[in-house]
Amino acid sequence: MGMTMTQKILAAHAGLERVVAGQLINAKLDIVLGNDITTPVAVNEFKKAGFEGVFDKDRIAIVLDHFVPNKDIKAAEQSKQCREFACEHCVSHFYDVGKMGIEHALLPEQGVVTAGDCIIGADSHTCTYGAVGAFSTGVGSTDMAAGMATGMAWFKVPAAIKFDLKGKLPANCSGKDVILTIIGMIGVDGALYRSMEFCGEGVANLTMDDRLCICNMAIEAGAKNGIFPVDDITRAYMAGRCERTPVEYAADPDAEYERVIEIDLSAIVPTVACPHLPENTHPATELTDIKVDQVVIGSCTNGRMEDMEVAYRILNGKKVADGIRCIIIPGTMQIYRDCVEKGYITAFIDAGAVVSTPTCGPCLGGYMGILAAGERCIATTNRNFVGRMGHVESEVYLASPATAAASALTGYITNPEV
């Protein structure tokens, strides 16, 4: 029996000819990632274990993105600890105010991650990098500490679910609608500790931003990782960008999958996940009587350039509905700059929206958009658990940038007309 893409990457990094689902391995790491919340915990464990140096200063990335610019004293102290550690160990990939971005938008953009990599990050949405054909997964801060010191991590090789994509998305749909539809089908534990492997002729009809979004939310189905094959779109994205030479892996024709699920992209509709789980999905057309108080367009899921372009196309020359707080957050400083140069920021402000420096802020109920009791937000973020964005009696509805922007204009959940 052959191996899946994920199994091939793990076998190569474990120095083995072959691995099988359920096997425990110790694998070499290409990148170890942390942010301003998880890195301080990892640094404490690093020091407690008596480690004196990092395995490779060029293979560690620390991104200050959750509460930066710092929202309070505790956030400032956490960031200070990250800065001191990065300076002490000469960490090459340290991103602070002025050059930072939301980590899972920033690392692909900067070419820090590439095809064939084995990556761990002390953040659950590290699975994003499967979009470029890498194995990437979230870990705890203790594993991050060990990874920074040794360049190794242990894994249980995951079994896989194959998603066979066919057709092409309608004009008003994106990768966010695809992954919400899939999570609605299989549930938040439908891919528990599995690799979600996306393949089929429909892959060629998805942009890199679509793929990054889809892999980002693999964790919301319980997956260990999500991954796309490397094709011409991936190669064009990586060209001139990546620090290391990409290594392409392809699943064997006889690779073993627990399930094969066919997804007709042409049948996807604008989809919204209602409170309080990402699996509670409904077509946007069924929810048009739900009034919202706030709209957030951003996050590691949907803060990329295509997301900003969609928001601009819908909001340009129009006005956000009275009483609606519309918050737009470009994912990186480069995306922010591109939005400035294209005139998007002016259009957003003229529409009545506020534009923030790159930050995770509102997604996790941190800052820049906290909800009060009884308030509702439609957001392009990735989680809508109880109290996720503020008060436990608030509600979060997950949607695509098109649906969120359309809803900002009406004050109600609105099916986008594109």
Mean pLDDT over 251-275 rounds to 97
Q: Please state the pTM of the whole predicted model.
A: 0.95
Mean pLDDT over 48-77 rounds to 96
Mean pLDDT over 194-210 rounds to 97
Helix axes 305-315, 344-351, angle to 10 degrees: 50
Tell me whether domains 5-264 and 271-410 share a fold.
yes
pLDDT category at 186 given cuts 50, 70, 90 is very high
pLDDT digits 0-9 by tens, 153-162: 999 999 999 9
Quickly tell me which residue has 């691995």 as its tokens.
Answer: 19
Tell me the C-alpha distance between 41 and 206, whole Å.
Answer: 37
Report the pLDDT value the prediction gives residue 404, as an integer from 0 to 100. Answer: 98
Tell me the C-alpha distance between 136 and 230, whole Å.
Answer: 15
Q: Are 275 and 394 in contact (CB under 8 A)?
A: no
The residue among 224, 222, 248 whose CA lies nearest residue 235 is 248
Model confidence at 312: pLDDT above 70: yes
46: left (phi over 0), alpha (psi -120 to 50) or beta: alpha
Q: What percent of the chain has pLDDT over 70?
A: 100
Domain 5-264 has CATH 3.40.50.410: no
CB atoms within 10 A of CB 73: 8
Q: What percent of the chain has pLDDT over 90?
A: 99
Model confidence at 303: pLDDT above 60: yes
Tell me the C-alpha distance between 290 and 284, whole Å.
Answer: 10
Report the pLDDT value the prediction gives residue 1, as an integer from 0 to 100. Answer: 81
Report the pLDDT value the prediction gives residue 417, as an integer from 0 to 100. Answer: 79
Domain boundaries, the chain: 5-264, 271-410
Quick one: 239 exposed, middle or buried, by C-beta within 10 A (0-12, 13-18, 19+)? exposed
Model confidence at 62: pLDDT above 80: yes
Which CATH code is given to the segment(s) 271-410? 3.30.499.10
Phi, psi of 138 (to 5 degrees): -85, 145
The residue among 49, 3, 47 whose CA lies nearest residue 25 is 3
Report the pLDDT value the prediction gives residue 42, as an integer from 0 to 100. Answer: 97
- pLDDT, the chain, mean: 96
Three-class SS of 321-349: CCCCEEEECCCEHHHHHHHHHHCHHHHHH
Tell me the C-alpha distance between 275 and 263, whole Å.
Answer: 24
Report the pLDDT value the prediction gives residue 418, as an integer from 0 to 100. Answer: 54
pLDDT category at 100 given cuts 50, 70, 90 is confident
**Residues paired with residue 371 on neighbouring β-strands, in sequence order:** 390
Quickly tell me which residue has 């060029």 as its tokens.
Answer: 58
Model confidence at 141: pLDDT above 60: yes
Quick one: 385 exposed, middle or buried, by C-beta within 10 A (0-12, 13-18, 19+)? middle
